[in-house]
Amino acid sequence: MPLSKRLFDVTIALLLVALLWPVLLGLTLVLLIVEGRPIFYLGERMCSPTRSFKQVKFRTMRVGTDAVGGVTGGDKARAISPLHRILRRTRADELPQLANVLLGHMSLVGPRPPMRSYVEAYPEIYNRVLQCRPGVTGLATLRFHEHEERLLAPCRTAEETEAVYRRRCVPRKARLDLIYQARRTLWMDIVLVIQTARKPFWRLPRRNPFFTGPRIVARKGARRNAMARAEARTIVRQAKSQPAE
């Protein structure tokens, strides 16, 4: 990781902790009173193809549901309380990951850290995606998260959710992650952090003079960006050709 990116991560994370500690404390107390213990969820995630870490989040499912593992689809809808749903919608459940950023497990901006099972199932994808340190937010998070939720919401079993996620979500998120990886700059990270902060309060427009998703990476280095897109398309085709387990 470039020193400038690490300094940016630590500076912004410390600033956010200083500004948001009343919010973090308030959410902790509300969750303790309304939902009970445990307050936090620790899940194994991969920060490289071979190294894992414990990702910390506010728990947003009823006790025992998280032990099942896997991504969240319609099959787990009943395990999410109204309070948990608010945390998920505003992404406030991700705030404890500032600790992961300060510890060096994650960056503020990058691909979302995958579970070990996906890294083992799609090594050709994650060997490339995890060349970039995983992030709390990123291009794929901003541009695909809501669509991913719509794809997984109709699923009624864990097996169906897993199959849809592997076939329709993993390749598309990888493509966006590789586009970010090819054109990442400190300015782009700043823009993505700002867009993440404003998204719970304003709907992200399709056309924005400040940020237009993948278009921001196409302003310069068209040849390099085209190569990244071509590589991403190849990886997407390879992933789609693999049967879901």
The per-residue pLDDT for 43 is: 93
List Cβ neighbours of 11 (8 Å cut-off, separation of 6 or more): none
Instruction: State mean pLDDT over 50-56.
Output: 96
Euclidean distance between the first and the last CA atom of the chain, given in angstroms as a whole number: 33
Tell me: pLDDT of 79 over 50.
yes
**What span, in angstroms and rounded, lies between the C-alpha atoms of 36 and 185?**
42
Tell me: pLDDT of 232 over 80.
no
The per-residue pLDDT for 208 is: 46
Tell me: pLDDT of 219 over 50.
no
What token pair was written down for 224?
């390099």
The per-residue pLDDT for 73 is: 86
Does the predicted model carry a pTM greater than 0.85? no
What token pair was written down for 106?
């994650």
**What span, in angstroms and rounded, lies between the C-alpha atoms of 34 and 17?**
24
Helices (H), the chain: 3-34, 82-90, 98-103, 116-121, 123-129, 139-152, 158-164, 170-183, 186-198, 222-241
Query: Residue 40 class from Cβ within 10 Å (0-12 exposed, 13-18 middle, 19+ buried)?
Result: middle
Output the average pLDDT for the chain.
Answer: 85
**Which tens digit of pLDDT belongs to each residue from 128-164?**
999 999 999 999 999 999 899 999 999 999 899 999 9
- Is pLDDT larger for residue 88 or for residue 63? 88
What token pair was written down for 48?
């490289």
**Which tens digit of pLDDT belongs to each residue from 167-211?**
999 999 999 999 999 999 999 999 999 999 888 766 544 444 444
